[in-house]
A and B are shown apart, each in its own frame.
Chain A
Amino acid sequence: MKLLFERSRPGRGMEYLPACNTPPAEFAPGQLRNAPPRLPELSEVDLDRHYTELGKQTHGVNDGFYPLGSCTMKYNPRVNEALAALPGFSELHPLQPAETVQGALEVLYRTEKLLCEITGMTGMTMQPAAGAHGEYTGLLLIRRYHQSRGDMARTKIIVPDSAHGTNPASAAMAGFTVVSVPSNAQGGVDLDALREAVGPDTAGLMLTNPNTLGLFDPNILEITRIVHEAGGLCYYDGANLNAVMGHARPGNMGFDCVHVNLHKTFSTPHGGGGPGSGPVGCKAFLEQFLPEPRVRCVDGEYRFFTPKHSLGRVRSFYGNFAVVVRALAYILSLGRGGIPEAAENAVLNANYLMNRLAGHYDMACGHSSCMHEFVIDLSRLKAETGVTAMDVAKRLLDFGIHPPTMYFPLIVHEALMVEPTETESPETLDKAAELFLQIWQEAHDDPELLHTAPHTTPIGRPDEVAAARKPVVRYSFES
């Protein structure tokens, strides 16, 4: 379809602003741009229809099943959108005096308390704007902790080989060296390898639990004990918190700090790649290092304050505030009963779908049960038919299903990571199971059909190699 720039016609456009009735400001010619930016000139109807067409070429949660592993693509309640858009929030300047934004500060304060209870932490910052940003912030807490003790030798962060790519990348950004530890045969942390890896240079461990194989590591208490005994701290990557909220807490597992993804576990929408929000919580001994500002309540009045040994700022203002409003509304809706109910149904749905597929598809590490997600290992299918994880994923597109996460975790070769979430009905899971089994059959009967999939989508498979080899990353007006 056409680009905005290809729809543009000189002289078209709307008048959104009135004529200015104060004298023009004068600038020296050297301060002015030589030519106007070549922004499109469109009538409003052209503009609106352009995006309606783009909308039709975008798969949202309401377009169908979205079992994208590790991303927790649950339904995003409409009421939360309406509440975040209230003028009492959306029209607030971030530098208004505290007396005029008591409700906004209360949002930050109450959400902090609720998330602390859910994670088993004592303090939290809402400043990080995404999960990876949260990881970075949590690692800075760990860094500050060791520095405050004069323990400058702790330069290494241990990360399992099954971890999200953001973990090692965040550790590097926070100035640490990454030590990768292998997984055991079940996909959990290899305890002997961990014991081998820890030492006086260990700053900490980053762990997702349930891990990226959808396994709750049964050795979790031993894992955090090993790290603590070596003098390191334990960081909980909350990407998979949806499986255990209300049932188990990172704090109880022995973790010292965590981040949660409000755009996964707490149902805030993902916006095609953000805005997210990645609040970071910690236990009491780390609170003094949290980013500034934090909110406290004194005699019913909310005020900002700077923690005693704050690591500074990681973002301007207070993070993605409107995302926090949505998450607060969600937590208040679910409450004490709904939070664990959501988690156990996420786990039930995953096990149900996994069980339906297990007769045909192999599960990674031979798992027969899982938490909120499971990983299919298609190595055998590939050996038998030549059909890859990519082919199966692309074929799913033909049936209106967003494919699972492909080729992750890296320790499984032909991986498809399936996370149904709790907001899918048994009918949806049954239908998906039937399609998976149909695709299994197609792989054996007509592998070419899968190699060339998808067939019904707006475009076919894109040439990604050409895109990277000769990058065209903006429209060229000259062509």
Chain B
Amino acid sequence: MASYVPSTKAERQTMLESLGLVSTAELYHDVPPAARVETLDLPEGKSELEVVDAITALAGKNQVFHSVFRGAGAYKHYIPAVVKAITSREEFVTAYTPYQAEISQGVLQSIFEYQTQICELTGMDVSNASVYDGATAAAEAVFMCQDRRRTGVLAAATANPQVLDVMRTYCESRGVPFTLLPAKDYAVDPDALAEQLKSGPACLFLQNPNYYGVLEDVQPAVDAAHAAGAKVILSVNPISLGLLKTPGEYGADIAVGEGQPLGLPMSFGGPYLGFMACKQPLMRKLPGRIVGQTTDSRGNRCFVLTLQAREQHIRREKASSNICSNEALCAMTASVYLAAMGPGGLRQAAESSASHAHYLAGQLSELGFGLKTSKPFFHEFLTDCPVNPELLCRKLEAKGILPGLPLESGILWCCTELNRKPQIDGLTAAIEEVLQDEAAV
């Protein structure tokens, strides 16, 4: 058993005596008997070696796929070794929120650098220090768009369904009308958009590339929303921005997204980070921590948490959000990743991901997996499946390949720079085997 308590039994006794006490039980004199618990029904404590064995055994019950063609909200990208090495430094790992700027310049400067990189990536003016994930970023962005006259959000049904679920939860509790904007051919239906904008929503929420990998016709949607007096929240894949037009260039008011692809392992869904950036006029509505530059008493440039009048510890129930802890170490990871990759490396990751996906789409179509839509896509795409998709996926999993996600009686495929040609050819060969087996049955 390791409780990590340094003081010995004798030392504890001396400390108790200094307080005029005999036993630690006396420290709990204010706890009424009915609130107490005598002994917890927990296992006996274990040595470190036993714990390592127990947890390693649990990890061993999971199947790790080296060939992954599944995205749908979590993406396996190459993470340079330097990223993990830097972000494993004890100071970065264990520090608390940087309330004391004089001994927290490392964390504060890294967040300032992260904010700058997110602004560069998205084409926005201001970024916060991160929120929990892409879904909560989307939900928080809706609240930024509220004013006295307009409250509702019009959310594209082509966005990630889990993101839409979280937005729905957040909107319901605050009484914000949430309307789904229907899709047509796996993209936003422009006629439905024109119609729904007439109800005067506060904002339009759009994902690009969308859940099906499709590149939405963003510009007309942004223009239509603005013409109707609504703000635009654009959710984006950060890797795609190495190549694709930015939310800023489209004229969006707020950019959000899931930051996991920027150097974070998939880790069965978390920790991830939600990035949020906006145009200048919305700055004071951003939730969460923001780091700003200032000077210290000695005249040096330094960094502090700023614009805190938005936050819960100052404003309490009038705060722009309740968020306190965010995902600072994940934001630092994203920042180190972006700095390591540089503009060229990021572009290469984006181009390779797209190239591999388009190559796979071509190979699959020869095997009878037709694209569900002819619209352009980035690194994900939805196909038909000549056999039962669930069955095909199970058979591929048995061969050590995690295929795309069964969806809409087809499969949603994803490629990144990791799915190089030999791996793709391995996948298509495995699919051919399955199809032949099925034909033989």
List 14 additional A-B contacts (Cβ < 8 Å) besides A51-B336, A460-B297, A473-B293.
A27-B244, A32-B243, A39-B346, A83-B51, A83-B55, A253-B35, A254-B35, A273-B326, A319-B270, A331-B42, A332-B51, A369-B27, A397-B103, A461-B296
- Which residues of B have CB within 8 Å of A276? 325
Q: Is A438 an interface residue (CB 8 A)?
A: no
Instruction: Known A22-B359, A463-B295, A473-B126; judge A248-B35 contact (CB<8 A).
Output: yes
- Which residues of A have CB within 8 Å of B241? 33, 37
Q: How many residues of A contact B (CB 8 A)?
A: 200
Among B7, B97, B106, which residue has its beta carbon within 8 angstroms of that of A56?
B106
> Is A25 a contact of B358 with CB atoms below 8 Å?
yes
Q: Is A389 an interface residue (CB 8 A)?
A: no
> Is B355 a contact of A20 with CB atoms below 8 Å?
yes
> Is A332 a contact of B43 with CB atoms below 8 Å?
yes
11 A-B contact pairs sorted by A residue (CB < 8 Å): A14-B340, A68-B99, A91-B76, A103-B60, A130-B324, A273-B129, A274-B271, A315-B132, A332-B45, A344-B27, A403-B100
Q: Is B440 an interface residue (CB 8 A)?
A: no
Write the nearest CB–CB distance from B387 to chain A, whole angstroms: 17
- Which residues of A have CB within 8 Å of B168? 312
Q: Cα distance A458–B105 when bound, in Å?
A: 8
The 7 closest A-B pairs by CB, nearest first: A88-B59, A317-B269, A335-B45, A271-B329, A103-B61, A58-B106, A273-B328
- Interface core residue of B18, B173, B312, B325 (most chain A CB under 10 Å): B325
Q: Is B121 an interface residue (CB 8 A)?
A: yes
Write the nearest CB–CB distance from B227 to chain A, whole angstroms: 19
> Is A248 a contact of B36 with CB atoms below 8 Å?
yes
- Which residues of A have CB within 8 Å of B359? 22-23
Q: Is A208 an interface residue (CB 8 A)?
A: no
Write the nearest CB–CB distance from B398 to chain A, whole angstroms: 10
> Is B165 a contact of A312 with CB atoms below 8 Å?
yes
> Is B4 a contact of A77 with CB atoms below 8 Å?
yes
> Is B24 a contact of A338 with CB atoms below 8 Å?
no
Write the nearest CB–CB distance from B237 to chain A, whole angstroms: 13
Q: Cα distance A71–B313 when bound, in Å?
A: 14
Specify the chain A residue showing the minimal Cβ separation from B61: A103
- Which residues of B have CB within 8 Å of A136? 173, 322
- Which residues of A have CB within 8 Å of B135? 313, 315-316
Instruction: Known A58-B107, A248-B31, A334-B1; judge A25-B354 contact (CB<8 A).
Output: yes
- Which residues of B have CB within 8 Å of A207? none
**B residues 306-341 touching A (CB-CB < 8 Å):** 306-309, 311-319, 321-330, 332, 335-336, 338-341
**A residues 50-74 touching B (CB-CB < 8 Å):** 50-63, 66, 68, 71, 73-74
> Is B356 a contact of A20 with CB atoms below 8 Å?
yes
**B residues 106-165 touching A (CB-CB < 8 Å):** 106-107, 109-113, 115-117, 119-121, 123, 125-127, 129-130, 132-136, 160, 162-163, 165
Q: Cα distance A78–B1 when bound, in Å?
A: 15
Instruction: Known A129-B271, A248-B37, A312-B168; judge A23-B355 contact (CB<8 A).
Output: yes
Among A102, A168, A175, A322, which residue has its beta carbon within 8 angstroms of that of B173?
A175
Q: Is A311 an interface residue (CB 8 A)?
A: yes
Among A81, A165, A339, A422, which residue has its beta carbon within 8 angstroms of that of B42?
A339
**B residues 38-77 touching A (CB-CB < 8 Å):** 39-46, 48, 51-52, 54-65, 68, 70, 72-74, 76
Number of chain B interface residues as a range: 35 or more
Of the listed stretches A194-202, A214-222, A377-385, A439-447, chain B binds A214-222
> Is B420 a contact of A18 with CB atoms below 8 Å?
yes
Among B36, B130, B420, which residue has its beta carbon within 8 angstroms of that of A274?
B130
Q: Is A394 an interface residue (CB 8 A)?
A: yes
Q: Is B223 an interface residue (CB 8 A)?
A: no
Instruction: Known A33-B249, A117-B40; judge A466-B295 contact (CB<8 A).
Output: yes
- Which residues of B have CB within 8 Å of A454? 102
Among A84, A269, A460, A468, which residue has its beta carbon within 8 angstroms of that of B298?
A460
Q: Is B345 an interface residue (CB 8 A)?
A: yes
> Is B70 a contact of A30 with CB atoms below 8 Å?
no
Q: Cα distance A256–B134 when bound, in Å?
A: 30
- Interface core residue of B89, B339, B402 (most chain A CB under 10 Å): B339
Q: Is A185 an interface residue (CB 8 A)?
A: no
Specify the chain A residue showing the minimal Cβ separation from B272: A316
Write the nearest CB–CB distance from B161 to chain A, whole angstroms: 10
Specify the chain B residue showing the minimal Cβ separation from A340: B40
Specify the chain B residue showing the minimal Cβ separation from A29: B245
Write the nearest CB–CB distance from B139 to chain A, whole angstroms: 9
Among B68, B100, B109, B319, which residue has its beta carbon within 8 angstroms of that of A3?
B109
Write the nearest CB–CB distance from B65 to chain A, whole angstroms: 7
- Which residues of B have CB within 8 Å of A437? none
Q: Cα distance A278–B339 when bound, in Å?
A: 31
Task: Flag A250-278 by CB within 8 Å of B: 1 or 0 each.
Answer: 00111000000001000101111111100
Instruction: Known A93-B266, A462-B295; judge A275-B343 contact (CB<8 A).
Output: no
- Which residues of B have CB within 8 Å of A299? none
Write the nearest CB–CB distance from A189 to chain B, whole angstroms: 13
- Which residues of B have CB within 8 Å of A458? 102-103, 105
- Which residues of B have CB within 8 Å of A267? 4
Q: Is A94 an interface residue (CB 8 A)?
A: yes
**A residues 220-260 touching B (CB-CB < 8 Å):** 220-221, 244, 246-249, 252-254
Q: Is A285 an interface residue (CB 8 A)?
A: no
Q: Cα distance A370–B134 when bound, in Å?
A: 41
- Which residues of B have CB within 8 Å of A25? 351, 354-355, 357-358
> Is B267 a contact of A322 with CB atoms below 8 Å?
yes
- Interface core residue of A23, A291, A311, A322 (most chain B CB under 10 Å): A322
Q: Is A475 an interface residue (CB 8 A)?
A: yes
- Interface core residue of A102, A114, A311, A458 (most chain B CB under 10 Å): A458
